[in-house]
Amino acid sequence: MSLENISCQKSFGGWHKRYRHRSASLNCDMVFAVYLPPQAEQGEKLPVLYWLSGLTCTDENFMQKAGAHRLAAELGLIIVAPDTSPRGPGVPDDPDAAYDFGLGAGFYLNATQEPWAQHYRMHDYVVDELPALIEANFPASDKRGISGHSMGGHGALVCALKNPGRYQSLSAFAPIGNPADCPWGEKAFSNYLGEDRSRWREWDACALIATAQEKLPILVDQGDRDDFMADQLKPDALEAAARAAQHPLTLRIQPGYDHSYYFIASFIDDHLHHHAQALKG
Amino acid sequence: MSLENISCQKSFGGWHKRYRHRSASLNCDMVFAVYLPPQAEQGEKLPVLYWLSGLTCTDENFMQKAGAHRLAAELGLIIVAPDTSPRGPGVPDDPDAAYDFGLGAGFYLNATQEPWAQHYRMHDYVVDELPALIEANFPASDKRGISGHSMGGHGALVCALKNPGRYQSLSAFAPIGNPADCPWGEKAFSNYLGEDRSRWREWDACALIATAQEKLPILVDQGDRDDFMADQLKPDALEAAARAAQHPLTLRIQPGYDHSYYFIASFIDDHLHHHAQALKG
């Protein structure tokens, strides 16, 4: 598996690097970004936080806007940011090129319906292929945390809840908490997975949390001026599911904050500490 | 002078807001951004740091990518980020729409040549019109700092050096230090100011520093892997001019850093402390 380095920028004493590679899971070329803190040059293997971005994003949004490098450099955390969908020639997009489906909107699942199933397998990419690549090519240990925003918050919850033992820490910003029951999720799931709603449950955090064997504590921040909160994100549904299953969830409703990266930047340090504590613990 | 608020986002307990207004200096509508730290709601007047961005930027780049809100919120600093040129219908652009002249490239000077002189008066806008607007409409004191990046670093140096007493603190990231003698500056100055190079001296930091009455200490950071350093930025020329004039300049060459916002984010805290120390006394 060869990695082509496409950029390299010093940041807080460490390095922000972007790579292109052929993805076997996704059957296309992919770009991801990695932040290597200064400790990565000292020979030690470091824990990795995987960050999953939201609709329309690429590997770049979080790295440029979250302000996470400062504390990651202090804590000795590697951060990996994949793209949000397969890309490139031959990868089908929403026929209307809508922002909420297709390119930039892979929903971190494995599609079963054509024409999506050939490329849209972001779950396998994020959970298996990418960590294998990271752990083989960088000074990364097998301690893994996962977090994300909006569609990526959904992705983080589902990746961790479906794969007990794979991650040691979990958090999310304004996640789509109950995608089987919101417009974004219904559009994506009906296309990627088909109309049989019983098949949607294995990609819905509320359904997964009900039967999760592993009780990995979850930190969630949600702004109360987030325009998507009531209709798309449904933190109440996630909270109710966690309460019913006695799953440890810290849901913080942050007054005045919206859905933007200003919100993420304001609380990213708390999330990095949450992950570092579990990963370095 | 009426301000139209076009967005409002909570960030680190304060607010990032964008405004549109009619600019008398520039003879067009302009947008600027302001970061109001939490202390702005406590009735106290706060010092203001003016940030001038580089080529191709708008008011958004610094606010989104510099990671400055965190410490500004702690220090109680207002940050104001104007656009980098006049904009809109009727504002002439480079005939080739090049990135380094015209729209997005006002060079923070007052043009004397047509067709530029009607709109390209960013110096008057930044030094007089914008602070008057800020001090009338926000809880802003008359303590002013100024900083910027690349073309905006040139702007910050020139604004402060030309207007003794107007600013109490000054810094720059990778400034165009000697624009009268580099390709970016020569293109801009010959168009905006005409071919008579003697007229260029009043917009060149190296020339201005030689005769500056006020010895405002300057902090400059410059990455040594910045592709523009040798041909366009010329920190050596700035350093030599400061030394000859016994002007206090702290020039820090940062090993490994490039010209990007990752570089700015890595050192913005030092600049905010530099300004806060002078502005808050």
The angle subtended at Cα A68 by Cα A65 and Cα A69, nearest 5°, is 105
pLDDT value for A1:
59
Q: Are A133 and A85 in contact (CB under 8 A)?
A: no
Contacts of A12 in chain B (CB under 8 A): 265-266
The angle subtended at Cα A259 by Cα A207 and Cα A101, nearest 5°, is 60
Average pLDDT, chain A: 97
pLDDT value for A133:
98
- Which residues in chain B land under pLDDT 50? none
* Cα–Cα dist B116/B92, whole Å: 7
In this complex, do B262 and A223 lie within 8 Å of one another by their Cβ atoms?
Answer: no
User: Å from A268 to nearest chain B CA?
Assistant: 11
Contacts of A263 in chain B (CB under 8 A): 9-11
Is B150 catalytic? The answer is yes
Backbone φ, ψ for residue B141 (5° rounding) = -80, 180
pLDDT value at A281 more than 80: no
Contacts of B263 in chain A (CB under 8 A): 9-11
Order of strands, sheet of A78-82, starting from the edge strand that comes earlier in the sequence: A4-11, A14-23, A28-36, A78-82, A46-52, A140-148, A169-173, A218-223, A249-254
Amino acid residing at B210:
A
pLDDT value for B1:
59
- Segment A201-209 shows an average pLDDT of 98
Nearest CA-CA partner of A76 in A53, A98, A47, A51? A47
Residue A268's domain comprises: 3-280
Asked if A258 has any chain B CB less than 8 Å from its own CB, the reply is yes
- Segment A9-34 shows an average pLDDT of 98
Domain count, chain A: 1
Asked if B257 has any chain A CB less than 8 Å from its own CB, the reply is yes
Q: Would you state the torsion angle of the CA atoms of residues A273, A153, A206, A125, taken in this order, to the nearest 10 degrees?
A: -110
Nearest CA-CA partner of A13 in A91, A70, A83? A70
> ipTM of this model?
0.96
pLDDT value for A43:
84
User: Å from B129 to nearest chain A CA?
Assistant: 28
What whole-number percentage of chain A has pLDDT above 90? 98
pLDDT value for A107:
98
User: Å from A227 to nearest chain B CA?
Assistant: 12
Q: Are A270 and A219 in contact (CB under 8 A)?
A: yes
At B31, which CATH number?
A: 3.40.50.1820
Q: Indicate the pairing of strand A140-148 with strand A218-223.
A: unpaired
Residue of B nearest to A257 (CA): B10
pLDDT, tens only, A225-273 = 999 999 999 999 999 999 999 999 999 999 999 999 999 999 999 999 9
Which residue shows structure tokens 């930025």?
Answer: B233
